[in-house]
């Protein structure tokens, strides 16, 4: 392989890894946000002494 082909392969590999990492990060972030929302709603229910869904 030529140097140019090696460079293209390396760039595409790095891009694929970055996209995978971003997807994992986004999934983790959204899961964390969902968990935080559940905890906040549970605290609100306790403070209001109302029945929670």
Q: pLDDT tens for residues 3-47?
A: 999 999 999 999 999 999 999 999 988 888 888 888 888 887 777
pTM: 0.48
What's the gap between Cα 29 and its chain centre?
Answer: 4
Separation of alpha carbons 34 and 49, rounded Å: 22
Residue 34 is predicted with a pLDDT of 87
DSSP-H helix ranges across 2-53: 3-48
Q: Please, what is the end-to-end C-alpha distance for the chain in angstroms?
A: 62
Contact 52, 45 (CB under 8 A): yes
Half-sphere exposure of 27 (CA within 13 A, CB side): 6
């Amino acid at each position: 392989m030529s140097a140019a082909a090696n460079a293209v392969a390396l760039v595409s590999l790095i891009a694929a890894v970055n996209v995978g990492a971003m997807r994992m990060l986004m999934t983790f972030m959204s899961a964390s946000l969902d968990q935080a929302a559940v905890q906040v709603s549970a605290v609100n229910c306790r403070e209001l002494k109302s029945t929670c869904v």
